[in-house]
Amino acid sequence: MAMKCMMSTGESKEMKSKLHRVEFGCSEESMVPENFVWPDEFKARDGAPELHVPHIDLHKFLNGNESDIEEATRLVDEACRKHGFFVLVNHGVDMELMKRVHECMDEFFTLPFDVKQKSQRKFGENYGYANSFIGRFSNNLPWKETLSLPYVANHNSTSVQDFVSKCVGPELSHQGKVYQECGKALSDLSLKIVELLGLSLGVPKEKFKKFYEDNDSIIRLNYYPPCEKPELTLGTGPHCDPTSITILHQDHVSGLQVYVDDEWHSIPPTKNSFVINIGDTFMALTNGVYKSCFHRAVVNCKEVRKSMAFFLCPAADKVVRAPDEVVEKNPPRKFPDYTWPMLLELTQKFYRADSNTFQAFIPWLEKQKSANTTAPPAL
Ligand SMILES: O=C(O)CCC(=O)C(=O)O
Ligand SMILES: [Fe+2]
């Protein structure tokens, strides 16, 4: 049903003609547009083993004694060197707020398509509503709809609220307020997480906190409609987050999978918790010591799945450069200095983020730098 809603657009006509019948999903027969059918090597199989990630008690880390701190940093260090995923509990974020976020998502994504389309994300832009029928790709399409919002960690900024009122519509301003509050709570939380990561890595506690204090981040709401033949497609294709740290809140439906030791593993939702993962930009800040890991989301035939991701990103003028003390312990320096908008531009316009994003980014960045230095002076 939700798929019908994703297809009730002019752009979908061509795709409708490419629909092919697929026999026996959870229902007797189902139809999955060809563009959503992923090659066999990517398809999800039943029964992915669970990834055993540490559950980190943030309250204990912040208020605990020496041994609580030592335990939290040791577990985080171990997980981040291996795959970069851990679960955060006792994090202090009001779960009633997260419940309201999910209610707003239900309200938004079940609106008629033409209402959602008003806030359509344009090519090269970072914010707004997107689904695969209006997206930039034509094959291996993800089975989902998203709404991406700008969060600016500036004392008086109401960036999220303003975006919703202006681009989504003033009639949804109540949702904007909820997402704004959520952004603030998760931005504050992210500063505690980078403190924990800094300590785990052995850099002064304040270092990363200062770097991200004025973060310019992204909130992404993911809505995965049920799919009658879920094994043919993916909700979010395999990728590494190009951003710094991701704070993910999943509803009660499983779907998140992480590629570790040559195998896909699931991280099922656990109540009142967030899944945290390291993105490419934080990996660069640690000179590659902490890993940004390949992950994806699978869909199911029974129910909608929703997740909310807060992608922590540095302010536009901050130079991403691993601290000397980290490089000295893990030489040589492995990443070029860059600012986040450069990597964002590459992944929004030219390159679909995967596990080789940096291999594409490094020569591209060099080209951009030399184009800028050889350009004739402006008159
Ligand atoms: O929905 C999920 O569980 C994962 C989503 C994700 O990886 C992303 O939005 O980057
Ligand atoms: Fe992701």
- The pLDDT-based confidence of 221 (bands split at 50, 70, 90) is very high
Please choose, from the candidates 115, 60, 65, 132, the residue with its C-alpha nearest in 3D space to the C-alpha of residue 90.
Answer: 60
pLDDT tens for each residue of 19-71 = 333 322 333 335 788 888 888 888 887 789 999 999 999 999 999 899 999 99
Does the Cβ of 298 fall within 6 Å of ligand 1? Answer: no
Q: Which two tokens stand for residue 352?
A: 């679909």
Q: Give dist(CA 226, CA 179) in Å, integer.
A: 24
Q: How far is the CA of 173 from the centre of ligand 2 (A)?
A: 27
Please choose, from the candidates 126, 141, 219, 135, the residue with its C-alpha nearest in 3D space to the C-alpha of residue 175.
Answer: 219
Q: Which ligand is nearest to the CA of 298?
A: 1
Among protein residues, the one with the nearest Cα to ligand 1's atom 7 is: 296
pLDDT tens for each residue of 235-281 = 999 999 999 999 999 999 999 999 999 999 999 999 999 999 999 99
Q: How far is the CA of 204 from the centre of ligand 1 (A)?
A: 30
pLDDT tens for each residue of 304-339 = 999 999 999 999 999 999 999 999 999 999 999 999
288 Cβ neighbours under 8 A, 6+ residues apart = 330, 334, 335
Catalytic residue set: 305
Q: Give dist(CA 70, CA 66) in Å, integer.
A: 6
